[in-house]
Amino acid sequence: MSDIERLRHSCAHVMATAILRIWPDAQFAYGPPIENGFYYDFQMKHRVTPDDFEKIEAEMKKISKENQKFEWKGISREDAKAMAESGRLGGLSERPGNPSVFKLDLIDKIPEGEQISCFQNGDFIDLCAGPHVGYSGKCKNVKLTSVSSSFYMGDDTKPQLQRLYGTAFESREELEAYFVRLEEAKKRDHRRLGKELKLFHIDEDVGQGLILWTPNGAVLRQELQSFISEELRKQGYHQVFTPHIGKLALYKTSGHFPYYKESQFPAIIEPDALQQIAHEGCGCAEMTARLDAVSAQFANQLNERTGREVIGQDRIMDPEKLLDGFLLKPMNCPHHIKIFGSQPRSYRDLPVRLAEFGTVYRWEQSGELNGLTRVRGFTQDDAHLFCTEDQVAAEVLGCLSLVKIVLTTLGMTDYRVRVGLRDADSSKFTGNPEQWDKAEDACRKAAATLGVPFTEEPGEAAFYGPKIDFVIKDVIGREWQLGTVQVDYVLPVRFDLSYVGADNKPHRPVMIHRAPFGSMERFCGVLIEHFAGHFPTWLAPEQIRILTISEKVDAFADEIFAQLKTAGLRVTLNNDADKIGAKIRNAQLDKVPYMLVLGEKEAAAGGVSVRHAKRGDLGVRSIADFLADVTAEVRERQL
RNA sequence: GCCGAAGUAGCUCAGAGGUAGAGCAGCGCAUUCGUAAUGCGCGGGUCGCGGGUUCAAUUCCCGCCUUCGGCUCCA
């Protein structure tokens, strides 16, 4: 544990002590240091609100002044249990009738034979492995930041606890600097900039988590798509288009329906069928069952193909009663699979790489929605690669290099790479173990070539195969998964895909799912924050703004405007009656990369005064020079 | 979905049981100006939505919706 973590952990104990002095019934669960501070989870009758912070902080100050010593004590399991039973553990004194329930549970979770220890500061004794600072006097530069709720052990079937967050630093200056930094970070929040720069809009009447791309944001997105499309052409991809819905049977085959029902928009039922079931007086439960069900033939075929019972007897129904419908597509794979399967394929054709900016819809929980980063409808820069088993490693590598090109071009270097592996004892993962091993190995090896540290995370795989994810942090430190590359041995079996090998026999292809941006929405959200709204010229919705000094140069300004426009640049003209200072200020606030100041001086010389939003006044230049430089800057996608 | 907080003009926010205010933005007029705010004037709000209490509710109470911070979830 680092020094700052040790300090913050001690602050969590000081906070607990303060809470107990005010509300003695509090039962504490778990209180670790975290990236920017610490928290403690607890349960008590009083509900803490931000109005209570002052009172709690005052008590914490007092405890810090008392300069209590943090003392380590090794105790036996029996003693620990006895102390928890009496309410002494995680309390200021024994609390008859109020046993330390969470501490009791935590003690049970400590493996047999491991040393159990507690720490005492003043009257507060807590089950804790430490370490801690020497004295509470160190815990003086501390501030409570927020209160929320959490589930005990992160399990939503366990009791809901209150979680109080705080932060602490060695010095007061560092503490203050932290909050200044936080304020600065908020200014680059994509939700705020999205409004200020008119990039996107979310409208209640359209629906939560559904993005309306306004003209400025549409430019940003379109430029990114063009960039990706160019790279895809270089790498031998084929562009396809598919509809936004597909029949339920498609998703029953893929295995997504009904198992992921909670995260899909409900099925769309055909009008005739809807009328029929309404006529029959069919209830909701009955309707759901009939939607979920399949015919015996369907189940048998799929079970036979996969070699296991993926569809149980309970889902089989008389074909007469089956209810058909459509699903708003939650992913693009089945559609692409159908394109691959639409014609015979030879091993000579492989790999087949099908790409689409495919829009998908997922029913995310309302509390999870967040600006552009977590939405209910989004467009993936998706592609599916169908290849032979021998080609998997090379194709994964190709996908990774694409992700790397993308991130490098945008100057995004602060990301981490996660290799998601299967969790041995989870039934969530399908397919055979040897293929999993092979695929996991290919991912691991490919990730190693990135030259970026990566972590292997068991249980993070997709149900059909392992994956490599690129994860980036937003301004407030939350992590978002962007690019992803996933190897899949399962869907080709479920859809019975095949190609003809050199031996003139059918073979099963392997699929790779990949999206370098992940989703256009999320990526743009992260990108807005990355650039703090100051996009490089090639991405800027408005690249150049012409600012006139007086009406006398209107004709000259029109001429320059027309020239830049003809050159394909996104240019606007501000010939309002404002003073030049105001025009510059407005252009700066709109984060327009180039401002061209035109007055009588420029008109006489036939030049333009160039000002850059970040580099300031660049002096007078000839229009030809300026045009050449900016077009090159845009063409080369300079940062 | 759960816990907590919030919702007043396009934006940022103030306000109070007696049907609302500022700054910025917008519009109009004047100004013709040299690298981050020219002046004057005008318009703009069913105070998130629906109920209830009250002579009177935007303000108090209840329900809902949306947003924000967490939790859980993320094929």
For the domain that residue A135 is a member of, what is the CATH number? 3.30.980.10
Residue A263 neighbours by CB under 8 Å, 6+ apart? A330, A362, A363, A364
- Residue A449 Cβ < 7 Å to strand B: no
Beta strand ranges found along A70-221 (DSSP E): 71-75, 116-121, 124-127, 142-151, 160-168, 200-202, 211-213
Catalytic residue list contains A279: no
Catalytic residue list contains A382: yes
Of A180, A130, A327, which is closest to residue A244 (Cα–Cα)? A327
Q: Which tens digits make up the pLDDT trace of A616-636?
A: 999 999 999 999 999 999 999
What's residue A392's pLDDT? 92
**CA A365 – C1' B71 distance (Å)?**
12
A35 part of a folded domain:
yes
**CA A183 – C1' B14 distance (Å)?**
22
Percent of chain A with pLDDT over 90: 58
Q: Which nucleotide is nearest to A254 (CA to C1')?
A: B75
A195 part of a folded domain:
no
| Euclidean distance between CA atoms A124 and A345, whole angstroms | 72
Of A421, A422, A462, which is closest to residue A444 (Cα–Cα)? A421
A226 and A285, same domain (yes or no): no
Catalytic residue list contains A579: no
Catalytic residue list contains A362: yes
Contact present, A517 and A406 (Cβ < 8 Å): yes
A251 and A230, same domain (yes or no): no
A324 and A337, same domain (yes or no): no
Residues 205-244 of A with CB under 7 A from strand B: 208-209
Question: What is the rounded average pLDDT of the residues A86-107?
Answer: 86
What's residue A284's pLDDT? 80
Residues 355-374 of A with CB under 7 A from strand B: 362-371, 374
| Domain end residue (candidates: A531, A552, A580) | A531
Q: Which tens digits make up the pLDDT trace of A500-515?
A: 999 999 999 999 999 9
Q: Which nucleotide is nearest to A595 (CA to C1')?
A: B35
A190 part of a folded domain:
no
**CA A139 – C1' B5 distance (Å)?**
28
Please identify which of the residues A380, A391, A435, A543 carries the catalytic annotation: A380
| Euclidean distance between CA atoms A240 and A354, whole angstroms | 6
- Cis amide bond preceding A32, omega within 30: no
| Domain end residue (candidates: A168, A183, A198) | A183
**CA A309 – C1' B9 distance (Å)?**
62
ipTM, interface predicted TM-score of the complex: 0.94
A235 and A383, same domain (yes or no): yes
Q: What is the C-alpha R_g of chain A?
A: 30
Residue nearest to nucleotide B75 (CA to C1'): A462
For the ranges A273-287, A544-558, A569-583, which has the lowest average pLDDT? A273-287
Residue A243 neighbours by CB under 8 Å, 6+ apart? A329, A335
Residue A205 neighbours by CB under 8 Å, 6+ apart? none
CA distances from A224 to A229, A274, A332, A381, A484 (A): 9, 42, 20, 10, 17
- Residue A300 Cβ < 7 Å to strand B: no
DSSP label of A267: P
**CA A198 – C1' B73 distance (Å)?**
31
A235 and A295, same domain (yes or no): no
A69 and A170, same domain (yes or no): yes
Please identify which of the residues A81, A103, A143, A362 carries the catalytic annotation: A362
| Helix runs in A480-622, H state only | 491-494, 520-531, 554-566, 580-589, 600-605
Question: What is the rounded average pLDDT of the residues A373-389?
Answer: 95
Neighbours of A588 (CB within 10 A): 13
| Domain end residue (candidates: A280, A295, A328) | A328
What's residue A346's pLDDT? 97
pLDDT band at A425 (very low <50, low <70, confident <90, very high): low
pLDDT band at A259 (very low <50, low <70, confident <90, very high): confident
A175 and A267, same domain (yes or no): no
Residues 467-506 of A with CB under 7 A from strand B: 476, 478, 481, 486
Residues 106-165 of A with CB under 7 A from strand B: 146-151, 154-156, 160, 162-163
Chain B bases near protein CB atoms (7 A cut-off): 1-5, 11-12, 29-38, 65-75
A204 part of a folded domain:
no
A408 and A274, same domain (yes or no): no
For the ranges A36-40, A197-201, A359-363, A433-437, which has the lowest average pLDDT? A433-437
Sign of the C-alpha dihedral, residues A422, A427, A431, A433? Answer: positive
Please identify which of the residues A9, A376, A384, A514 carries the catalytic annotation: A384
Q: Which nucleotide is nearest to A420 (CA to C1')?
A: B75
- Residue A346 three-state SS: strand
Of A553, A533, A635, which is closest to residue A593 (Cα–Cα)? A533
Catalytic residue list contains A244: no
A355 and A287, same domain (yes or no): no
A26 and A66, same domain (yes or no): yes
Catalytic residue list contains A9: no
A539 part of a folded domain:
no
A96 and A80, same domain (yes or no): yes
Element (H, E) at A173: helix A172-187
- Residue A600 Cβ < 7 Å to strand B: yes
State the CATH number of the domain containing residue A507.
Answer: 3.30.930.10
| Helix runs in A368-495, H state only | 392-409, 433-448, 491-494
Count of the separate structural domains present in chain A: 4
State the CATH number of the domain containing residue A610.
Answer: 3.40.50.800
Mean pLDDT of chain A: 91
Q: Which tens digits make up the pLDDT trace of A271-317?
A: 888 888 888 887 788 888 899 999 999 999 999 998 888 888 889 99
Sign of the C-alpha dihedral, residues A94, A98, A99, A100? Answer: negative
Catalytic residue list contains A276: no
Neighbours of A368 (CB within 10 A): 11
Q: Tokens representing A547? A: 């600012």
A188 part of a folded domain:
no
Q: Which domain holds residue A284?
A: 245-328
| Euclidean distance between CA atoms A52 and A157, whole angstroms | 28
Residues 239-278 of A with CB under 7 A from strand B: 256, 260, 263-264
Strongest mean pLDDT among A131-140, A278-287, A544-553: A544-553
| Euclidean distance between CA atoms A400 and A515, whole angstroms | 10
A434 and A565, same domain (yes or no): no
A445 part of a folded domain:
yes
Q: Which nucleotide is nearest to A150 (CA to C1')?
A: B71
A612 part of a folded domain:
yes
